Amino acid sequence: MSQALEEPLEQALERAIRDVPGVTAVFRAGSPLGKVIEASGELLRGERRPGSLVKVSRTDDVVVAIEVELGVSSEASSVDTLERVYAAVLVLLSTQGLEPGLIRLTVVHISGEGAGL
């Protein structure tokens, strides 16, 4: 598959994470202040950051850091869900020939019964 047709890493990670049982949502990664600064910059430039809510820092074939903020179901163990997400991230990176550095997963919301995406 050509480089132009491949799914960007951030979007592939987000899709893989959303498919993990127990994950109810993926939120934009980063500190609250960082999110405000980023949104302000986008407004001033008249552009929106496209695509993914997953934050990826990389150099060539080494992924330096991945940051993900998730919602999980109250019916699922947060620890088990995070372990499954971590495994899904490792598998995806491996299939793309990438080596992970830091993988930061944070549960920022726990959905009650009947909550949807």
User: What's 59's domain CATH number?
Assistant: 3.30.70.1350
pLDDT tens digits, 26-35: 998 866 676 5
Q: What is the mean pLDDT of residues 98-113?
A: 86
Considering its fold, how many domains does the chain have in total?
1
Question: What's the confidence (pLDDT) of residue 6?
Answer: 60
Q: The domain containing residue 44 runs over which residues?
A: 7-111
- Residue 59 pLDDT: 78
Report the DSSP beta bridge partners of residue 106.
Answer: 69
Is 52 part of any domain? Answer: yes
Tell me, yes or no, whether 1 lies in a domain: no
User: Scanning the structure block, which residue is given the tokens 């960082």?
Assistant: 34
Q: How many Cα atoms occupy the beta-carbon half-sphere of 26 within 13 Å?
A: 23
Residue 21 inside a domain? The answer is yes
Q: What is the pLDDT of residue 70?
A: 94
Q: Extract long-range pairs of 46-55: CB within 8 Å, 24+ residues apart.
A: 51/8, 51/10, 51/11, 52/8, 52/10, 52/11, 52/13, 52/14, 53/14, 53/26, 53/27, 53/28, 53/29, 54/10, 54/11, 54/13, 54/14, 54/17, 54/26, 54/29, 55/10, 55/29, 55/30
Mapped onto helix, strand or coil, the DSSP state of residue 40 is: helix
**Could you tell me the pTM of the whole model?**
0.76
Q: What is the pLDDT of residue 21?
A: 96
Q: Is residue 68 part of a domain?
A: yes
Residue 117 lies in a domain: no
Q: What is the pLDDT of residue 91?
A: 95
Residue 116 lies in a domain: no
Question: Is 2 contained in some domain?
Answer: no
Quick one: what percent of the chain has pLDDT higher than 90? 43
pLDDT in tens, 45-92: 666 555 578 888 887 767 778 999 999 999 999 999 999 999 999 999
Asked if the structure places residue 29 within a domain, the reply is yes
Which 3 state secondary structure label does DSSP give 78?
helix
